[in-house]
Amino acid sequence: LDSNEAEAEIKKTMIRQATEVALLVDHSKFDRKAFVQLADFSHINYIITDKSPGAEWIAFCKDNNIQLVW
């Protein structure tokens, strides 16, 4: 969750320029709304988190070719 719009714009540019993108989030961030969307999940290659995000997220990642690591 990123509430600073200027910082979010910088991160969006970095994501557009990257060859691979990893999203690092703790378990509390799943299923929450964000103030600013940094990227569509089609731009994410990896999600790295501290705990299993649950069956729905595991299936979502598998269906969208996102490597999930916890």
Residue type, 57: W
Read off the pLDDT of each residue in 45-49 and give the average, rounded to a whole number.
Answer: 98
Q: What tens digit of pLDDT does each residue of 1-45 get?
A: 556 788 888 999 999 999 999 999 999 999 888 777 788 999 999
* Amino acid 3: pLDDT: 60
Residue 70 has pLDDT above 80, yes or no: yes
Residues 6+ apart with CB under 8 A from 55: none
Burial (CB count within 10 angstroms: exposed 0-12, middle 13-18, buried 19+), residue 26: exposed
Q: Can you give the residue ranges of every domain in the chain?
A: 5-69
Q: What tens digit of pLDDT does each residue of 52-66 get?
A: 999 999 999 999 999
